[in-house]
Amino acid sequence: AQSVTQLDSHVSVSEGTPVLLRCNYSSSYSPSLFWYVQHPNKGLQLLLKYTSAATLVKGINGFEAEFKKSETSFHLTKPSAHMSDAAEYFCVVSFSGNTPLVFGKGTRLSVIA
């Protein structure tokens, strides 16, 4: 069975400081992992994905994530937060392209001016 745990329901950072959103996963197979972002009353936008290639994945808007098999983690980072980064972030596990995604519960990122 696959599962995803987002360790923080809410993270608050000051503008210009680093962002760390934590995600641990459990999967019986080699997983595909994604980070999606959701702004209020909007759908989900893909930030980045890991599919067993490079363990450090770069995404849009300056975000990146590192897949660590030994720690079963896929944490999302950004060197410098911007006000527009304030949103809900979801860590997601997938087995194949046409099977349902397994979502974490989400982490709300607040950015303080």
Partner 1 sequence: GAVVSQHPSRVICKSGTSVKIECRSLDFQATTMFWYRQFPKQSLMLMATSNEGSKATYEQGVEKDKFLINHASLTLSTLTVTSAHPEDSSFYICSATSGTEVGQPQHFGDGTRLSIL
List the one residue from 65, 90, 93, 109 that touches partner 1 (CB under 8 A).
Answer: 90
CB 106 within 8 A of CB 90: yes
CB 21 within 8 A of CB 105: no
How many Å is the Cα radius of gyration of the chain?
Answer: 13
CB 23 within 8 A of CB 108: no
Closer by beta carbon to partner 1, 7 or else 44: 44
Torsion of CA 94, 25, 43, 64, to 10 degrees: -100
Question: Counting contacts by CB under 8 A, is residue 96 touching partner 1?
Answer: yes
Q: How far is the CB of 88 from partner 1 (least distance, A)?
A: 9
Site string for partner 1, 65-84 (x = CB under 8 A): --------------------
Closer by beta carbon to partner 1, 73 or else 94: 94
The stretch near partner 1 (CB under 8 A) out of 19-27, 34-42, 62-70, 73-81 is 34-42
List the one residue from 20, 46, 56, 83 that touches partner 1 (CB under 8 A).
Answer: 46
- One-letter amino acid for residue 34 of the chain: F
